[in-house]
Amino acid sequence: MEINPMLKDVILNILNEEYLKGGEILHDIKRIYDNCIPKEKNQFYSMLLFFLTHLEFKEDEAKKHWEKILERYYYFERLLRRDISLRLAIVDYFTSDYRLLKNPIIIEMFLYEVTEKNALMDELTGLYNYRYLQRALDAERKRSTRYKLPFSLIFMDLDNLKNINDNFGHSMGDHALRCVSETIRLHKRSEDIACRYGGDEFIMLLPQTLRDGALECVNRIKQAIEQHCDKGDFHLTLSAGIAEFPADSDNPEQLVQLADQALYQAKCMGKNSVVCKIEQN
């Protein structure tokens, strides 16, 4: 099977979030499919079922199987009167109705291609690292250029992390970074890519998103951090800068620089701020 690497990452991210979102991932899957470009739609459900079952189908056949799996999912949900796992419906369908799985073995999704993924993940936060960001930016630039789509970058920085490290120790600083990372993960869309850029800096890549949408996203994250990452002894805030492709630049490296410059302006404004567009002197 020919695998689109960016679509693969989006699908695996959705599946990894089932333990957080439960049945909500079904809505995420439909939304991602609806927002896919035609080339991605032509392999979406075949890739989805491949990652879930390791069975290969043509796209039209995979889509029919998926519709039957959804029917099975909602049947069990009504029968048991509680949320169920998507994997339960899949295993039942492929062992009872369409007997392609004879002795299914359930494994954690994060074990899938674990060696490759570990090389692209930040160990402390569990977000993607700078190496993955470079790959994702290049792929999104090609995709957005070909289909004339925008995307936005959010460059974020924790305010006063050095003071937390100095006054409370690096273990508390690490706790702050993990708390912020988990908040970002919970408040981003499944298709958004969140990376730890280094130190206390984070970058988010938001496909098919204008700067106003990026501003809404970062404001949600800022509010959640202020509500849920407050330890009492210190108060966490976030500053951010936004840049939009291709309105600000069609060069990924320059786009990162522009988002970084916007972040710097936000810091100069007194921190806990967001700058959407660089003010030229």
Single out the catalytic residue among 9, 157, 192, 200.
200
Determine the Cα–Cα distance for residues 209 and 206; give it in Å rounded to an integer: 6
In angstroms, the Cα distances linking 174 to 123, 127, 160, 195 are 11, 14, 13, 16
Cis peptide before 5 (omega within 30 of 0): no
In angstroms, the Cα distances linking 69 to 75, 98, 205 are 10, 11, 32
Determine the Cα–Cα distance for residues 273 and 111; give it in Å rounded to an integer: 38
Q: Contact, 158 vs 176, CB < 8 A? A: yes
138 is catalytic: no
Q: Which residues are catalytic?
A: 200
